[in-house]
């Protein structure tokens, strides 16, 4: 079984050097998801990063095939990276300012999954509409 190869990145002297270790951590988490079905979430705002490092990390992760935008209590954007199973999740406030940024290593982020209560409400709505016919 082959494992994804993450890119090597040169570290300028004024940076924290956290981009490369983060990529290794993501690779380890992806292996854990694949082998043990263990999901991981990394809070990017909780990590020390120099200016430009977050952008370099996002660039290294690239873009995948799926992008989802939610509108609930502010906008959230969920982007698959070029590594399936690695998702970049960004939350915005009403002023379009980033209030949270996460990397989730999972088959599908929980934010996309329909919640049981929402499914139940949808079923009731459908049944009501069918009875009106």
66 found inside a domain: yes
CATH number for 82 = 3.30.1370.140
* Total count of domains within the chain: 1
120 found inside a domain: yes
Report the pLDDT averaged over residues 112-126. Answer: 92
User: What is residue 23's predicted lDDT score, i.e. its pLDDT?
Assistant: 96
Q: CB-based contacts of 81: which residues, under 8 Å, 6+ apart?
A: 61, 62, 63, 64, 87, 88
11 found inside a domain: no
Model confidence over 3-55: pLDDT tens digits? 667 666 665 556 678 899 999 999 999 999 999 999 999 999 998 888 889 99
Model confidence over 57-107: pLDDT tens digits? 999 999 999 999 998 778 999 999 999 999 999 999 988 899 999 999 999
70 found inside a domain: yes
User: What is residue 104's predicted lDDT score, i.e. its pLDDT?
Assistant: 98
User: What is residue 83's predicted lDDT score, i.e. its pLDDT?
Assistant: 97
97 found inside a domain: yes
User: What is residue 14's predicted lDDT score, i.e. its pLDDT?
Assistant: 60
Domain that holds residue 93: 19-132
pTM for the predicted model, two decimal places: 0.80
């Amino acid at each position: 079984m082959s494992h994804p190869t993450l890119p090597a990145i040169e570290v300028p002297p004024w940076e924290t050097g956290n981009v490369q270790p983060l990529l290794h951590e993501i690779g380890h988490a992806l292996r854990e998801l694949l082998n043990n079905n263990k999901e991981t979430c990394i809070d990017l705002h909780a990590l020390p990063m120099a200016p430009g490092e977050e952008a370099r990390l996002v660039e290294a992760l690239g873009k995948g095939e799926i992008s989802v935008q939610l509108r609930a209590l502010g906008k959230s954007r969920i982007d698959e990276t070029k590594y399936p199973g690695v998702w970049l999740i960004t939350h915005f406030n009403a002023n379009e300012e980033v209030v949270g940024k996460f990397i989730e290593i999972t088959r599908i982020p929980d934010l996309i999954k329909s919640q049981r209560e929402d499914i139940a409400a949808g079923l009731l709505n459908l049944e009501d509409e069918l009875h009106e016919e």
